[in-house]
Amino acid sequence: MVSTNAVSGVLMVGTLAAFLAASTTLRDTPFSGTASTQHQQPFKPGEWGYADADWLRQHYNITMLSEDPPVIQFNNFISQERIDAILHFAKPKFARSTSGIEREVSNYRTSSTAWMLPDVLGNDPMQAHLKDMEEEIARIVRLPVENQEHFQVLQYQKNQYYKVHSDYIEEQRQQPCGIRVATFFLYLNDVEEGGGTRFPNLNLTVQPAKGNAVLWYSAYPNTTRMDSRTDHEAMPVAKGMKYGANKWIHIHDFVTPWANGKTV
């Protein structure tokens, strides 16, 4: 197993040599929303790649958990205020999680899920915290906010889990939104025991730590080809409770076709 503190650095862009040559001047501050005003060059429509190393090292404390494929831990990314906002909306809405394009309930995934859809957020002013995070994630991945799915908040009670899977959905290749290219996962609490995110093909387990986030990619850069190296699972919670949140990012606009009923 690889320790989450084993390799420290920033996300490589282009080549491993570029990553190894990069310096690592980092700052360790919780996400406050202020970094969302710092602009970087976004990808052209229909193009995508890994996050920009220079921009990341200027704004975050990052641990490089895997170099190829990149798996990046953002330490102390979320403030308590923003965690409270997410759980404020999610806790009344939790229902049994489903999996696959058919939204099936199965023993493959036993957690509970709450989607942060427009009707859930309503006019509650606390939704501003979620919007700030969406904008910040867009800056990190260099893709528009519209390419993001709504936050999916997760609750794992004792012994609950999600077995090995990919966030890549083959059927979405033919949909307007295109494939999911990246996952930005937020850890909303510390877990007493268990509940790690395990990447079996990378021999890597990320233990939940309140306020941290992890970024990984489900496809090879600037392609629609699935990268099975980032297949992963949510390990069973052995003691306590686990709260987390998925933010899935697509290659194209997700929000518009979703609103028109043209995506899943």
pLDDT tens per residue across span 7-40: 333 333 333 333 333 323 233 333 333 344 466 7
Q: What is residue 34's predicted lDDT score, i.e. its pLDDT? A: 39
For 95-149, the DSSP string reads: EE--BTTTTB-BTTB--EEEE--HHHHTT-TTHHHHHHHHHHHHHHHTS-GGGBP
Q: How far apart are the first and last CA of the chain?
A: 35
- Residue of 21 and 73 predicted with greater confidence: 73
pLDDT surpasses 80 at 134: yes
231 vs 236: CA distance, rounded Å: 16
pTM of the model: 0.84
Amino acid at 174: Q
| Superfamily per CATH, domain 56-260 | q2cbj1_9rhob like domain (2.60.120.620)
Amino acid at 172: Q
For 139-203, the DSSP string reads: HHHTS-GGGBPPPEEEEE-BT--EEEE-S--GGGGGSTT--EEEEEEEE-S--SEE--EEEGGGT
Q: What is residue 40's predicted lDDT score, i.e. its pLDDT? A: 73
Q: What is residue 39's predicted lDDT score, i.e. its pLDDT? A: 66
The per-residue pLDDT for range 95-132, each reduced to its tens digit, is 999 877 767 888 999 999 999 999 999 999 999 999 99
Which residues make Cβ contacts (< 8 Å) with residue 193, sequence separation at least 6? 237, 238, 239, 240
Q: What is residue 13's predicted lDDT score, i.e. its pLDDT? A: 36
pLDDT surpasses 80 at 196: yes
